[in-house]
């Protein structure tokens, strides 16, 4: 059977849109928002994360969907301590406690093959810096893959694809991913050529290791999972979700040191407030990130 673009599925039958295979959680969650939000997210996401719907097996697909109740992220690192803090607080901690996501951190040294737990060696090319060896990485990946099927094996690298909200949306619809953190001067090129499926950079600068990058990826992905944020709509109204920056926010007091909250926000007129928020979002994007409006 031909794969069906989910945009069409949603246009034809929004009810069926929740019955996708590994994208289910995502769409169950999105469906709670409203059709407009779903359409917006699909449009900005270029449909690339919602490929299949099996019209011939809706019941089976639904059962499969019900079963896939959480995401699993495995992180392979030479410095596990660097990850425990960032992943053990706030939304990402609660998501783990609620069983929405499982995050497993693996110490690469456990897969070293000598008694010194060596994971790096000198580069054949000479020059400074050590290189992470292929054997421990291959052993770690083989061990994980022998138990679970992974959708992506991501290597964090400054020369990878630039991480964006769109990519976070896509990855939040996968079930199992591995994130491999580099260290030292980098990894043996054969890891990149043969063992990983994707390389992601968090920005045009160089970090000491991939751990902080992995934490950023995990955070951005996990907060999109259904139930991770109690006010679910807020994940979809954040900056970048519709190629717009978020509008400004205000809370009490109405006036502080003579600095006032805009009158419109106190008017109680929901429609006008929505229009104001949209105008502000467009204006801020035009001023601060005009490139987004051209995408
Ligand atoms: N010699 C490499 C940099 C190595 S930095 C180069 O010039 O490209 C060591 C490790 O930190 C990398 O292997 C990568 O896993 C991680 N890292 C550094 N900067 C990163 C970035 N901007 N995004 C993602 N990972 C990064």
Q: Is the pLDDT assigned to residue 262 strictly greater than 90?
A: yes
C-alpha 163 – ligand 1 centre gap (Å): 13
Q: At 14, list the tokens.
A: 């929004």
pLDDT of residue 143: 98
209, pLDDT greater than 60: yes
Q: What sign does the dihedral 53-54-58-62 (CA atoms) show?
A: negative
Separation CA 70–CA 226 (nearest Å)? 9
Question: For position 233, what pLDDT does the model report?
Answer: 66
Share of the chain above pLDDT 90, in %: 69
pLDDT beyond 70 at 49: no
- State yes or no: pLDDT of 32 exceeds 50: no
Whether residue 47 is predicted with pLDDT greater than 60 in this model: the reply is no
Q: How far apart are CA 18 and CA 213, in angstroms?
A: 31
Q: Is the pLDDT of residue 27 over 80?
A: no
pLDDT at 45: 44
3-class DSSP state for residue 82?
Answer: helix
Which H, E and C letters describe 213-277, residue by residue?
HHHHHHHHHHCCCCCCCCCCHHHHCCCCCCCCCCCCCCCCCCEECCEECCHHHHCCCHHHHHHHH
Joined together, the tokens standing for residue 37 give 């939000």
For residues 67 and 204, the model is more confident at 204
Q: Which of 127, 201, 210, 214 to probe ligand 1 with, by most ligand atoms within 8 A of CB?
A: 210
pLDDT-derived band at 69, boundaries 50, 70, 90: low
Mean pLDDT of 182-189: 97
| 182 or 39: which leads in pLDDT | 182
Q: Which of 130, 182, 200 to mutate to test the pocket of ligand 1 (most atoms within 8 A of CB)?
A: 182
Q: 170: Cβ below 6 Å to ligand 1?
A: no
Q: Provide Rg for the chain, Cα atoms.
A: 22
Dihedral angle, C-alpha 201, 204, 210, 212, nearest 10 °: -100
Which pTM was predicted? 0.81
How are strands ordered across the β-sheet holding 186-187? 120-121, 131-132, 186-187
Q: Is 185 in the pocket of ligand 1 (CB under 6 A)?
A: yes
- Beta-ladder partners of 102: 72
Q: Which residue, chain included where needed, has tokens 């059977």?
A: 1
- pLDDT value of residue 295: 76
Yes or no: say if 77 and 106 are a contact pair by the CB < 8 Å rule.
yes
Best mutation site among 206, 208, 209, 219 for ligand 1 pocket (most ligand atoms within 8 Å of CB): 206
Indicate if the pLDDT at residue 23 is higher than 70.
no
Query: Which pair of structure tokens corresponds to residue 230?
Result: 């109690």
Worst-scoring range by mean pLDDT, 26-35, 45-54, 277-286?
Answer: 45-54
How close are the terminal C-alpha atoms of the chain, in Å?
33
Q: Residue 278 pLDDT > 60, yes or no? A: yes
Q: In this model, does residue 33 exceed pLDDT 60? A: no
pLDDT score, position 232: 58
Q: Is the pLDDT of residue 40 over 90?
A: no
CA distance 288 to 295: 15
Amino acid 176: pLDDT: 98
Give me 174's structure tokens.
């996968």
The least confident of 46-55, 79-88, 145-154, 198-207 is 46-55
Q: Is the CB of 210 under 6 A from ligand 1?
A: yes
Query: What pLDDT was estimated at residue 55?
Result: 41
Q: What's the whole-number mean pLDDT along residues 65-84?
A: 84
**Residue 169 in contact with residue 226, Cβ under 8 Å?**
no
More confident residue, 53 or 165: 165
Tell me which residue has its CA closest to atom 12 in ligand 1: 182
- Per-residue pLDDT, averaged over 284-291, amounts to 97
CA of 13 to the centre of ligand 1 (A): 44
Question: Averaged over 225-240, what is the pLDDT?
Answer: 80
């Amino acid at each position: 059977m031909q794969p069906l673009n989910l945009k069409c599925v949603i246009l034809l039958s929004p009810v069926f849109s929740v019955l996708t295979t590994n994208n289910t959680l995502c769409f169950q969650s999105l469906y709670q928002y409203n059709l407009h939000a779903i359409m917006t997210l699909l449009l900005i996401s270029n449909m690339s994360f919602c490929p299949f719907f099996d019209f011939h097996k809706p019941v089976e697909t639904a059962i499969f969907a019900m079963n896939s109740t959480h995401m699993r992220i495995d992180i392979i690192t030479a410095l596990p301590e660097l990850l425990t803090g960032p992943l053990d607080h706030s939304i990402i901690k609660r998501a783990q406690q609620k069983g929405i996501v499982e995050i497993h951190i693996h110490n690469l040294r456990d897969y070293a093959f000598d008694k010194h737990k060596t994971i790096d060696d000198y580069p054949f090319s000479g020059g400074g810096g050590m290189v992470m060896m292929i054997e421990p990485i291959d052993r770690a990946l083989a061990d994980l893959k022998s138990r679970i099927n992974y959708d992506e094996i991501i290597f964090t690298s400054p020369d990878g694809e630039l991480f964006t909200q769109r990519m976070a949306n896509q990855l939040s619809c996968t079930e199992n991913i591995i994130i491999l953190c580099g260290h030292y001067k980098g990894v043996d090129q054969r890891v990149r050529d043969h063992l990983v499926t994707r390389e992601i950079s968090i920005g045009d600068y160089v970090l000491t290791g991939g751990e902080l990058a992995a934490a950023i990826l995990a955070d951005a992905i996990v907060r999109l999972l259904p139930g991770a944020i109690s006010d679910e709509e807020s994940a979809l109204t954040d900056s970048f979700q519709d190629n717009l920056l978020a509008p400004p926010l205000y809370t009490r007091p109405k006036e502080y040191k003579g600095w006032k909250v805009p009158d419109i926000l106190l008017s109680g007129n929901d429609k006008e407030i929505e229009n104001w928020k949209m105008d502000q979002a467009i204006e801020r994007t035009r001023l601060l990130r005009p490139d987004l409006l051209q995408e």
